[in-house]
Amino acid sequence: MIVSDTTPISNFLHLDRIEILEQMFPAIHIPEAVRQEIETAFSYNVRWQQRLKDGFLVIRKVKNPLLARQLLLKLHPGEAEALCICIENNAKLCLLDDKDARIAAALNHIPVIGTLGILIQAKKRGLIGSVKEMMDILKNQHHFWISKAMYEEVLRLSHEN
């Protein structure tokens, strides 16, 4: 099972390249909080609605609301519920960008990959031509924060430096 928080999905929707996620993962499970967060910005996005309708994005309910509430002490609702679903279902991978959520995932032995890691893998698989181009769009047009050191590291890993 692959579970996602809000930001990786919304980043690929901002890029108008949600199909990259479909090419890399058979399905992505999201909690209700993530659906609500994405709906705030993308309720009229046809690609978002189609992925919900065709079952690529699967809405999951948290089974242990107490665990989700505990995670809410340090995380946003989407992150907390996504991690809760990962723990409850022994998820194979969680798509996360937030540093605090990644720390919580590591403490619970949940493997993670974020938007940048997905872009690097997509380039390695020949799904995109340039990681730099997509990073620049996210950074310059959609307020995606990335440190200079991380930016340079991603360019190095994607052989674009």
Mean pLDDT of 54-58: 95
Residue 6 pLDDT more than 90? yes
The rounded distance, in Å, linking the Cα atoms of 48 and 144 is 20
Is residue 138 over pLDDT 90? yes
Q: Report the alpha-carbon distance of residue 69 to residue 22 in Å, rounded.
A: 31
CATH code, 2-113: 3.40.50.1010
Average pLDDT over residues 49-54: 92
Instruction: Please write the tens of the pLDDT for every residue from 60-81.
Output: 999 988 888 888 888 999 999 9
64-68: long-range pairs with CB below 8 Å, 24+: 64/88
Cβ neighbour number for residue 22 with a 10 Å cutoff: 16
Q: pLDDT at residue 91 above 90?
A: yes
pLDDT band at 143 (very low <50, low <70, confident <90, very high): confident
Average pLDDT over residues 12-36: 96
Residue 70 makes CB contacts below 8 A (sequence gap 6+) with none
Average pLDDT estimate for 24-51: 94
Residue 72's pLDDT is 85
What average pLDDT is seen over the chain?
Answer: 94
Query: What's the mean pLDDT in 132-154?
Result: 94
Full-model pTM = 0.93
**CATH 3.40.50.1010 boundaries in the chain:** 2-113
111: pLDDT confidence band, cut at 50, 70 and 90?
A: very high
- Segment 108-137 shows an average pLDDT of 96
Q: In whole angstroms, give the CA distance from residue 79 to residue 71.
A: 8
